[in-house]
Amino acid sequence: MNGILQRNLLALSATDPDLAARISKATPDPKLRAEPSRTGLPIPILRGPSGDLALHSRMDPLREAERLAAAYPSGGFIVYLGLGAGYGIRALLDRPTTGGVLVVEYSLDLLRAILEQFDLAPVLSDRRVRLLADPDEPTLERAIFEAYIPILAGDLSTVPLRARVDADPGRFSEAVDAVRRVISRVSDDYSVQAFFGRRWFSNTVRNLYAAERPVRPLTPVREAIVTAAGPSLDELAPELGQVRRGRFLIATDTSMGALLARGIVPDAVVSIDCQHISYYHFLTPVPGEIPLILDLASPPSVARRARRVHFFSSGHPFCRYVSSHFRPFPSLDTSGGNVTHAAVSLADTLGARRIFLYGADFSYPRGASYARGTYIHRYFRLRAGRTSPQESLFSAFLYRNLQVDRETDPDGTFRYVTKPLQAYRRRLEAFAAGLSGQLVPVRGSGVDIRVPIRTFDPSGSGRGLAVFAPGKATCTAREFLESYRDGLRGLPELTAPSLRTLRSLSPEQQDLWTTLLPAAAALRKDLGNLQIPPSELMERIRAWTLEVVSAELEAGPKAPMESFTITRT
């Protein structure tokens, strides 16, 4: 092993020892050689079917790299396609606005040849740089999603090493497609954080005293029924009484009122919405013996509408931190963006072999929005007047969507569909493919939900069943909040470039700063056109966070609200 290769692999092994080991075992690509440019700097030459291909300028590779970096003045997070001799990457790293660079290369043998002939140790040892070799599209998407932090890094850009990309256009075009998908996903995720980030945090803090109380675990079930609140629940509700026997009935918060109005008492209720409007679902409290399965980030006012509350973690950074440092909470999949998705996740977590789904219309059948007995009917009834009847309010509720399409079945049944509801359905269908049991959608007048037919052992053996309950707390809620507050106070400032500074901190410090990122996205949105650097933004959100935590420590625990008991039917 020559000295250049040894230095490069040593630098790489500090951040990715597995990749360094893979490259050390590769055979150097004989098609690559080094030649001096006009300025004397070495450049890689790749022999191809059409002749030699210089991966950098034969005249002045540094000037070429400077021009490339100048084309991306805002820096941000860069996905750099092709490694080459690293001139372009160095030029980008020299800009203080560059928060991170993910380098994608598709040949281990080519990488071995490059690292034998070009000193890339300064690039590979930079904490902002990560090298990916031969990634498939899911691996590339996951790497970008994990490394890119919009609130700290800024824009996400793809920068090709043009000659290298032209030499292997097929695989690099797949990388470009993967980046586009990640941008769409990150945009959606960031938008949600911008709307709800501060509510997630403040609600979670205010739920911690309630979350330390002991709770009776939920035990495994064989089969389950999940009720959503679509209008088809009206026509399907009578069937529930016939099929419920021996099955665990999970109601979404929206459907609970509709069930109780019909004398149907669920076995559990699930709620995930962090907005205070979710309180309307619980104007009729949860019957005393019924467990409320509640996201830690839900409004505390909702938690006080039930005697038996099972908190779970939906994966927000602060919720993950709480589970790691205070009390391990069970998790549910809320990636579908709606409570029906989470309720199905609960049924699967409890080990249900079959999950029957009622009322999941993902549309507006005949223009109707929700089943009778849900909060919106009561809400619109109270708001209705001579000049604004209920029908007008329901119509406005439907047409608040930017695009509404009508679907009609051969029998004349029609429904209105919107893009958000279509997205919810697609996510549920994809989620169903990975369930341990079989999702069985019971269709009413809503859309058709297509799920794969699964095969499983009828006896139920082989399922890894577990009770649904939090683990043992490592400290009291007050002790956790005090420790968290002190940790935030002791964090070093995220000086520019903020992403680079974050990566230089200890894992514990990185975890603490990460808990603030969704709230920081919300603050950025609230500031509107006022542009401030990430370092100042993070200081502002740290101050706000400390105010929230200190206020909760001063307020102390609150008594739960009394609920009532009704007769199960």
Instruction: Give the CATH number for residue 75.
Output: 3.40.50
Domain C-terminal end among 441, 474, 508 = 441
| Statement to judge: residues 54 and 102 lie in one domain | yes
What per-residue confidence (pLDDT) applies to 397?
79
Decide: 435 and 354 in contact? Cβ < 8 Å: no
Burial class of residue 524 (count of CB atoms within 10 Å of its CB; 0-12, 13-18, 19+): buried
Is residue 414 situated within a structural domain? yes
Is residue 300 situated within a structural domain? yes
Is residue 553 situated within a structural domain? no
The answer for residues whose C-beta is within 8 angstroms of residue 287's C-beta and 6 or more apart is 260, 265, 563, 564, 565, 566
| Statement to judge: residues 95 and 235 lie in one domain | no
- Using CA atoms, how far apart are residues 348 and 168, in angstroms rounded to an integer? 44
Is residue 485 situated within a structural domain? no
What per-residue confidence (pLDDT) applies to 272?
96
Domain C-terminal end among 441, 464, 480 = 441
| Statement to judge: residues 100 and 231 lie in one domain | no
| Statement to judge: residues 270 and 314 lie in one domain | yes
Is residue 59 situated within a structural domain? yes
| Statement to judge: residues 149 and 263 lie in one domain | no
What per-residue confidence (pLDDT) applies to 250?
98
The single-letter code of the amino acid at 508 is: E
What per-residue confidence (pLDDT) applies to 1?
65
- Using CA atoms, how far apart are residues 225 and 554, in angstroms rounded to an integer? 43
Decide: 154 and 75 in contact? Cβ < 8 Å: yes
Is residue 345 situated within a structural domain? yes
Residue ranges of the alpha helices (H) in 338-463? 339-349, 375-383, 390-398, 419-432
Is residue 519 situated within a structural domain? no
Domain C-terminal end among 441, 465, 488 = 441
Query: How confident is the prediction along the chain (569 residues), in pLDDT tens digits per residue?
Result: 689 999 999 999 999 999 999 999 999 999 999 999 999 999 999 998 889 999 999 999 999 999 999 999 888 899 999 999 999 999 999 998 898 999 999 999 999 999 999 999 999 999 899 999 999 999 999 999 989 999 999 889 999 999 999 999 999 999 999 999 999 888 888 999 999 999 999 999 999 999 999 999 999 999 999 999 999 999 999 999 889 999 999 999 999 999 999 999 999 999 999 998 888 889 888 988 899 999 999 999 999 999 999 999 988 999 999 999 999 999 999 999 999 999 999 999 999 999 999 999 999 999 999 999 988 888 777 788 878 888 788 888 787 877 889 999 888 889 999 999 999 999 999 999 999 999 999 999 999 999 988 766 555 544 555 689 999 999 999 999 999 999 999 999 999 888 889 988 999 999 999 999 999 999 999 998 788 999 999 999 999 999 999 999 999 988 765 544 444 44
Is residue 226 situated within a structural domain? yes
Domain that residue 61 falls in: 3-167
- Using CA atoms, how far apart are residues 344 and 332, in angstroms rounded to an integer? 9
What per-residue confidence (pLDDT) applies to 432?
96
| Statement to judge: residues 147 and 240 lie in one domain | no
